[in-house]
Amino acid sequence: MTSAFISYAVDDAAKFVDFLEELLDDWGVAVFRDRHSLGSGPYVRQFEREIPKREYFLNVVSKCAESSDWVDAEIQLAFRKGKKRKMVPLKLHSISLNDNLILGMLQYIDFTGWHNNYDVYDATFALARYMRIKLSYRECRATTDAALAKTVRRQGKSSRTRGGKFRRRRVVTIEKGDKLPPTQKPGRTWERIGPRQQTRGTMMAQYKTGQKAPRSGRYNWVRYTDGTRTPRPTTEEQQIRLTTGERFPPVASAGKAAWWRGPV
């Protein structure tokens, strides 16, 4: 069974790690994480036992982790135990890794936009491929959405009401074409959480290279059909204009088939 040790700073990465833990659990990965930022002797002995046992070492790169002695100790222990090939920095904040002699040698996965649309899909798909989790891009999107929804319910997302008390928010999952259910009280509205692809209040369909445009208009590039977004197309290639029945082209500069969204 695939397993992973998550190294992170509780102060600014706990919510992200809640999501990451839910995601890995859906993938069948056994996870060890420090939930309480224990800096005591028992925890030191515990992570000294756990890190060598876990197949992957996932380090969440954040502002607080950068100055954390405990996170640094975990990184050094993982490196000493020969985990270099399976150490994966997950960049939560835009921080340079060049100052860290160990992390600076590794290829990181960019999670800085983990709460925004396709950024989180690309990051989770890259993580799945690195950990050799056999998922298609579509399956990865589904598990990512499920993990985000579970995280919200788990954290009990709430808002403050009069008197200083908190009100738990209701969470629903909406599929394409479904209508929002009525709110529990008149006058309340729904707030979107998690990724979406929406504009002007309607969901836009996606089409891949070779398919015919259903109607005339401009279509935006989404990603390549292999699930990647690199190398990025030129500015002119990121939006194309097609007439009804015209076939969607590949991205010429990359020589790769692509997904397109629209019309806009």
Alpha helix (H) ranges present in the chain? 10-26, 41-53, 63-66, 69-80, 117-130, 137-155
pLDDT for 217-240, tens place per residue?
Answer: 889 898 888 888 888 888 889 899
Q: Model confidence over 99-124: pLDDT tens digits?
A: 787 888 888 898 987 766 567 888 89
What are 54-82's pLDDT values in tens digits?
899 999 999 998 888 888 888 888 888 87
Q: Name the pTM for this structure.
A: 0.58
Spatial CB neighbours of 71, under 8 Å, sequence gap ≥ 6: 7, 8, 9, 59, 65
Give the span between the Cα atoms of 67 and 165, in whole angstroms: 34
Give me the chain's average pLDDT, please: 79
The answer to whether residue 200 scores a pLDDT higher than 60 is no
- In the chain, where the domains are located: 3-140, 199-261
- Return the CATH number of 3-140, one of 3.20.20.140, 3.40.50.10140, 1.10.10.60, 3.30.460.10: 3.40.50.10140
Task: Between 68 and 178, name the one with better pLDDT.
Answer: 68
Q: Which candidate, 166, 168, 169, 165, places its Cα nearest to that of 190?
A: 169
- Rounded Cα distance between 77 and 48, Å, is 7
Give the pLDDT confidence of 159-169 residue by residue, as tens digits.
333 343 334 44
